[in-house]
Structures are given as structure tokens and as C-alpha cells.
Amino acid sequence: MGLWNKLSNEFIDIIEWLDDQPDVMVHRFERYQNEIKMGAKLTVREGQVAIMVNEGQLGKGQVADVFMPGMYQLTTENMPLLATLKGWKYGFNSPFKAEVYFFKTTRFTNLKWGTAGPATMRDPEFGVVRVTAFGIYGLRIKDAKTMLLELVGTQADFSTRDIEENLRGKIGVRIKEVMPEIGVPVIDLEAKVTVVGERIREKIAGDFEQYGLELTEVQVQDIGLPEEVEKAIDQQGAMRVIGNMNQFAQYQGAQALRDAAQNEGMAGSMMGVGVGGMLSQSMGNLFQANAAPSAGAGAAVPPPLPGVMQYFVAHQGAQTGPFDMAALQAQVQNGTLQRDTLVWRQGMSAWAKAQDQAELQALFAAMPPPLPPQ
């Protein structure tokens, strides 16, 4: 039985590669003493290319015949280069020694890449910025002869693992050179990862071709921006959401007054009718700014009705109001507005004490004057 196995191996009739490992790119067909029987059947499936090499001559660059997908009966007619190298001038029917390499020409995807360190970019808005990036890429075998000579050599099986680290480093280094040249502002990088990936692929495709490979795609999955740039992006987004800053400031002030009125720990001058008046006035200003579309987006807030006296009141170092006489009377009653409280209304040149205003003196008529000094 052992003799029969030896003879069977010496005269292999079928040469084929039934690949079952997705990461294997090149496979060398194994045979007993590298002997192939003249007239043997060579099967090259779709997604494969086969190359026959004169045994022991690969180092000299003597790659022989290339076979595309199909079924072949090996004869001197369909192996012209090998026949020339072997010196078969008048035909040859005995077993011969040669090596057959199968190449998988389908795409290899989901290979990872990343910058080894930050790439320095000069941005028109942020100046010099250091950026990192990572993602995946895809490739396929474009020139089997070049790949055999440049990468595979005499390996029995050549997989993506044998070259992935080398290509990952090559992409990472080239990207650091390409990023400053792609012409996309830093703040737009994350929104234009597809454009960035295509620019990178165009720039570094030549580095793969020298190995007989085609870089089919480059996907950028993440752009690492400095913390200060990310904060600036967040702030710009918030500004676009807020829109009118004056209205937003008025709304925030009204919210703060409402929260203060509802806080039990802020009793006294910030509670009661006074706070209610300030809250009402602040919200009124906000709604007036948004009301009456027919008046136009840039229409000014209308002045008080004729005969209605309104004053601004200084309270705890801040300007409040304006308040009409009813709201001012309520503030006198709860102690927020006192005789020496500074007030101002339209037509006054400066802030002055409330007791010095003729219109306000009636508000203090029922209130006793301050005690004389001891």
C-alpha cells in the first residue's frame, strides 16, 4: 500500500486549490518531489490565478506561465515559457518538476489601520492642530507575478497576516503626510470621513502597486481631535441651536427669577409680589420680542402707554424692571423698595433715590420716616 501511495503522488493527475481559509492569499500546490505528470489537469477556479514556475528558479525571476480561471490539460503547447526554460524543443511526455502557485484574486476586507501618532495639520481657524485617525481598508491581488517575486517568495502559504502589519504601518505613516494636504478643515473632518478616506486611497495606492496589490478602499472610522477643538465644535453647535442670544439671555433671566421665587431658602426681599413683578416683566419682554409677526422680525419693543409711569429699580447691585406704580407699591410694602433705593426712569440723567422723586413720594406716605440718629 505504501508503494501505491508513493506512485500516486508521483503522478498527480489533478492540480487544484480548494481554499477554505479566508485570510490566505497565496497557496503553493504541494506534490511529491515537485513532479507533475505531462497531461495532468490544472483547474483554476473563478477568483483565482495560477502561476507555474520552473523549480528552483524563482530567485532568478524566472516566473513561467500564468493561467487564468479555467481547466487546462498541461502540455508543451499551453506551457510555452516553461517549455522554453526546460529546453523542450521537440515535445516532452515524461513527468517534470515545477512549482504551481495559486493566487486568490477576490477582495480582502476589514484590514485595520491607524496613525502611529498624531498628524500635525495647519488649520485656518485653529492654527496648528494634532490629529489622529484609524479605520479599515480593503485590497486584492492585481499583479500575481509581481506579488510572487516581491512578497511571497517560496512560502507555502501567504496570508494577510504576513503583510498586514507592514501595510498598516505604511498607511499610518503615509496618512500623517497626506492629512495636511487633503484640504479639509479640522472642524469638518468628522463630517467628511468618506471624502478623507477617498483622498487617502488616491494618495497611497501607488505604495500597494509596487507589491502587485490594489488598494480598493480606505474607510476612516474615527478622527481624534484635540479636546479644545471638540469643545469649540460643541459651542458652535450650541450657538446655532440658541439662535438669538438676546432672547436666550432674557429667557435664562426669567428662569432664574422663577427658581429664586420657588426656593424656600431665599425668603425676604426676593419673595412675594416684588419677585412676581420682576418675573412677569422679564417674561413679558421675551414674549414681546417674539410676538406680532406682522410687525416684522426687526420691530422694536413698543414704549409704555401714555400716562403710565415706569421705573427701573436697583436691587442687590442689579438693575430690575421697569415696574409700573402698582408693582412699585407692592415692593414698598414688602420692603424691597425703600426711600434710599436708587431708581431711574426715562428722561432722568442719572440714578437717584426713590424719596427724591415726586411721583414716588406718595408710595412712602404711609411709611414712617427713618429714626433720627442717636
Per-residue pLDDT of the chain (374 residues; tens, 9 = 90+): 444 444 444 445 788 998 778 899 999 887 666 677 778 888 999 999 998 887 765 555 566 788 999 998 887 666 766 666 665 555 566 677 778 899 999 999 989 888 877 878 887 777 888 888 889 999 999 999 889 888 887 788 999 988 888 888 777 777 777 777 777 787 777 778 888 888 888 888 888 999 999 999 989 888 887 777 777 666 665 655 555 556 556 666 666 666 666 665 544 444 444 444 444 554 455 444 444 444 444 445 555 555 567 888 888 888 888 888 888 888 888 888 888 889 888 878 888 888 888 788 778 776 666 667 76
- The reply to whether 256 and 210 lie within a common domain is no
Q: Is the model's pTM score more than 0.85?
A: no
Per-residue pLDDT, 71 = 92
- The reply to whether 130 and 221 lie within a common domain is yes
CB-CB neighbours of 155 under 10 Å = 14
- The residue assigned the cell 433705593 is 341
- The reply to whether 170 and 80 lie within a common domain is no
Per-residue pLDDT, 163 = 87
- The reply to whether 262 and 215 lie within a common domain is no
Give the residue from 194, 209, 231 where a domain finishes.
Answer: 231
297: in domain:
no
298: in domain:
no
Give the residue from 39, 70, 104 where a domain finishes.
Answer: 104
Closest Cα to residue 133, out of 89, 86, 192, 80?
192
Domain residues for 131?
A: 108-231
- The reply to whether 113 and 178 lie within a common domain is yes
Give the residue from 192, 210, 231 where a domain finishes.
Answer: 231
372: in domain:
no
Number of domains forming the structure of the chain: 3
140: in domain:
yes
237: in domain:
no
299: in domain:
no
CB-CB neighbours of 345 under 10 Å = 17
First to last CA, the chain: 132
Give me the helices (H) in 103-160, please. Answer: 144-147
Beta bridge partners of 101: 28, 51
Per-residue pLDDT, 24 = 93
- The reply to whether 88 and 115 lie within a common domain is no
Quote the distance between the C-alpha of residue 103 and its chain's center.
35
352: in domain:
yes
- The reply to whether 132 and 54 lie within a common domain is no
- The reply to whether 118 and 227 lie within a common domain is yes
Neighbouring residues of 39: CB distance < 8 A, sequence distance ≥ 6: 73, 74, 75, 93
302: in domain:
no
